[in-house]
Amino acid sequence: MLHMYLPIAGNSVNILIILGLGGFVGLLSGIFGVGGGFLMTPLLIMFGIPPTVAAASDSNQIVGASTSGTLAHWRLGNVDFKMGILLLAGGIIGGTLGVQVIKILRAMGNADFLINITYVIMLGGVGAYMFWESLQGLKKSDAPQHEEEKPVKESGYAKALASLPFQTDFEKSGVRISALLPLIFGTLVGVLAAIMGVGGGFIMVPVMVYLLRMPMHVVVGTSLFQILFTCVNVTIMQSYSNHTVDFVLALLLLLGSTAGAQIGTKISKRLKGDQLKILLASLVLLVCVKMLYGLLATPDIMVAIAGGH
Amino acid sequence: MLCSLKNITGSRGVTRRFRPAGLASFIFVMFVAVAAGTVSADEIKISVVPSEISISAFYDGAHIKAAGTIPAGADVVIRITGEGEEVHLKKKGKVGGLLWMNTGKLTFKNVPAVFMIYTTPDVADRVNHETINLGYFSAKDQIELEPENEAKEALFKEFVKLKESERVYVIDTGSVKYTSGQAGPRQFEADIAVPPKMKPGEYVVEAYAVKNDHIVARADTALVIKLVGFPAWIASLAFGHELLYGIMAVVVAVAAGLLMGVVFKSKGGAH
């Protein structure tokens, strides 16, 4: 068994396991446009990496995977840079706000309870809705004779969207909406991501699909583009203020994940939007169940090292 | 005399270096023993080979051999301890009678980073005996808990479980072997596994001779673990040139991503 020593994490890991882990999470990243921190961080902790180092090194890894994924999706014409930049700007504002919000929550006490419950309800709600909605879509496409039976009704939400100022064409996404929308939603996701200590891909993807009404394939590419910059920021900040980025660990993960992201993009291309959505919904529900299990099962040890997700 | 000895260990505690309690009781026992003329310090010796471990790129823990001599009729307890460290923990508890989650933070100060005991099974059962007191709880008085909590002992037990799962807190009863008979001074040796989780630093390897539930002799030697080569370079960069390190990590990651993109494109172009 070939091992490598991680000088910042202060432990050694099996090279093949970490390469495989990187490859798998990179694959998910390329298919769905998520960073995969929800999966990677707990697994790294399981392999004996301190929680804070696991989370920070993972964002270093995501920089590589999302560069690789963004490039691959860009070649397919799936990255809406205009939308991505607005979401990103919102995300940065939201992230800064979120850090302040969490300080207030912590001061009030019981913050963890609130965060955990919100997280589970949100994952469960978003996952279930996405699953149901894409299932309907798949059923419809199975019965092509019924296609376009009636024009989609203008909902109150759509009317409200149309009345906002700064209406802008987002050609890649094929939508015309106010430029304020991605900025606002980006901010909201940024706040949530900061509070929950996650990258936010899981929240951002459904927001882009349902609230910004972007096509699923463009959502994946644009999400990766946005994640890339978020993680560049996190990596530098964590290296600078907390010394928690283990470059050796990130490098091992990278080697797997950058390849995984390329293969993931190829898989993504072959799947229909609804198929992608239903798979992602299943994944979201799985994470929700895992979190619930964590909350309900009696822990073996009543204390844990602080930090991480 | 006893009082002044206690003062010495007390002042050491203030310097925040971990000093297990076994030493204090040993000094007292030695004082009594030497006064009675029963034990000479030459009768106990310990050495470790190698005494210095280098962590290079592919390091995955190491093995050291501890060997030495104890007085006739005694049993050996080998103890390895590291410097005191501060550990921040999340405490888990039940909320609403149903959900397990973090219910608070706590900090242990001056807890030994490493605590390993190697001895024979019958002695292992007695290490917490008050006149021996070499077990995990010998560190209890030096350890501070923040915030103050009446359940310090129970929380420390949970902390020990955590450390045992990382293999840095160990009570091993299978590795110590005696290579000479009961008559005369006893030769002992033990194979000790140094887990990769044992951080670079200086460790104390002690040998205690235990006879009739009392410590009759003590000796120690040092074990040094240090980073060399690639890991040493990374660590010095991460802690000495933080910004440069962060930027380098990002640049390498982006480069790897772009490179992989090029590799896959050239593959795809063959179709």
pLDDT digits (tens, 9 = 90+) for B17-46: 555 666 666 666 555 555 444 555 568 999
Q: Which pLDDT belongs to residue A143? A: 61
Q: Which pLDDT belongs to residue A174? A: 79
Give A278 to chain B, closest Cα distance, Å. Answer: 27
Tell me the β-bridge partners of B217.
Answer: B209
> Which is more confidently placed, B100 or B194?
B194
pLDDT higher than threshold 90 for residue B201: yes
- Stretch B175-198: mean pLDDT: 88
pLDDT higher than threshold 60 for residue B3: no
pLDDT higher than threshold 90 for residue A248: yes
- Give the range among A245-249, B11-15, B77-81, B251-255 with minimum mean pLDDT: B11-15
Chain-wide mean pLDDT for chain B? 82
Is there a contact between B254 and B79 (Cβ–Cβ < 8 Å)?
no
How far apart are alpha carbons B162 and B28 in whole angstroms? Answer: 33
| Nearby residues of B171 by Cβ (< 8 Å), 6 or more positions away | B116, B117, B119, B124, B127, B135
Tell me the β-bridge partners of B214.
Answer: B211
CB contact under 8 A, B247 and A306: no
Q: Which pLDDT belongs to residue A37? A: 79
Is there a contact between A183 and A89 (Cβ–Cβ < 8 Å)?
yes
Query: Which residues of B are less than 8 Å from A19 in CB distance?
Result: none
Query: Which residues of B are less than 8 Å from A297 in CB distance?
Result: 100
Is there a contact between B176 and B188 (Cβ–Cβ < 8 Å)?
yes
Q: Which pLDDT belongs to residue B32? A: 54
Give A309 to chain B, closest Cα distance, Å. Answer: 12
> Which is more confidently placed, B271 or B162?
B162
Query: Which residues of B are less than 8 Å from A259 in CB distance?
Result: 260, 264
CB contact under 8 A, A301 and B165: yes
How far apart are alpha carbons B109 and B140 in whole angstroms? Answer: 11
Amino acid at A14: N
- Give the range among A75-89, A93-107, A258-272, B177-191 with minimum mean pLDDT: A93-107
Q: Which pLDDT belongs to residue A23? A: 94
Partner residue opposite B100 with nearest CB, options A7, A255, A298: A298
Q: Which pLDDT belongs to residue A85? A: 92
Question: What band does A98 get if pLDDT is binned at 50, 70 and 90?
Answer: confident
Integer Rg of chain B from CA = 24
Q: Which pLDDT belongs to residue A147? A: 44
CB contact under 8 A, A60 and B265: no
Q: Which pLDDT belongs to residue B207? A: 94
Which string of b and e fits B111-145 if b means at least 16 CB within 10 Å?
A: bbbbbbbbbbeebbebbeeeebbbbbbbbeebbbb
Query: Which residues of B are less than 8 Å from A235 in CB distance?
Result: 246, 249-250, 253
Question: Of the candidates A216, A197, A196, A194, which has an alpha carbon nearest to the alpha carbon of residue A207?
Answer: A216
Partner residue opposite A262 with nearest CB, options B88, B159, B260: B260
Pairs of CB atoms within 8 A across A/B: 185
- Stretch A214-225: mean pLDDT: 89
- Give the range among A49-53, A288-292, B11-15 with minimum mean pLDDT: B11-15
> Which is more confidently placed, A53 or A160?
A53
- Stretch A224-235: mean pLDDT: 88
pLDDT higher than threshold 90 for residue A190: no
- List the domain boundaries for chain A: 3-141+156-296
pLDDT higher than threshold 90 for residue A230: no
pLDDT higher than threshold 70 for residue A192: yes
How confident is the model over B129-149, as pLDDT tens digits? 888 888 888 877 788 888 877
Query: Which residues of A are less than 8 Å from B265 in CB distance?
Result: 75
Q: Which pLDDT belongs to residue B10? A: 33
Burial (CB count <10 Å: 0-12, 13-18, 19+), residue A15: middle
CB contact under 8 A, B162 and A243: no
* Inter-axis angle of helices A81-108 and A111-142, nearest 10: 150
Query: Which residues of B are less than 8 Å from A296 in CB distance?
Result: 98-100
Is there a contact between B58 and A5 (Cβ–Cβ < 8 Å)?
yes
Integer Rg of chain A from CA = 20
CB contact under 8 A, A60 and B249: yes
Percent of chain A beyond pLDDT 70? Answer: 92
Q: Which pLDDT belongs to residue B37? A: 45
Question: What band does A19 get if pLDDT is binned at 50, 70 and 90?
Answer: very high
Tell me the β-bridge partners of B144.
Answer: B109
CB contact under 8 A, B246 and A296: no
- Stretch A270-289: mean pLDDT: 87
Chain-wide mean pLDDT for chain A? 83
Partner residue opposite B242 with nearest CB, options A6, A243, A248: A243
CB contact under 8 A, B232 and A7: yes
Is there a contact between A39 and A29 (Cβ–Cβ < 8 Å)?
no
Percent of chain B beyond pLDDT 90? Answer: 45
Residue of A nearest to B265 (CA): A72
Q: Which pLDDT belongs to residue A165? A: 76
pLDDT higher than threshold 90 for residue B202: yes
How far apart are alpha carbons A221 and A80 in whole angstroms? Answer: 8
How far apart are alpha carbons A269 and A273 in whole angstroms? Answer: 9
CB contact under 8 A, A5 and B231: yes
Pairing of strands B201-211, B214-227: antiparallel
Handedness of CA B50, B55, B58, B63 (dihedral sign): positive
Question: Of the candidates A306, A287, A303, which has an alpha carbon nearest to the alpha carbon of residue A28?
Answer: A287
Percent of chain B beyond pLDDT 70? Answer: 81
CB contact under 8 A, A3 and B105: no
| Nearby residues of B116 by Cβ (< 8 Å), 6 or more positions away | B79, B80, B81, B168, B169, B170, B171, B172, B192
Give A269 to chain B, closest Cα distance, Å. Answer: 14
- Stretch A279-283: mean pLDDT: 88
Classify the complex by whether its ipTM is higher than 0.90, answering yes or no. Answer: no
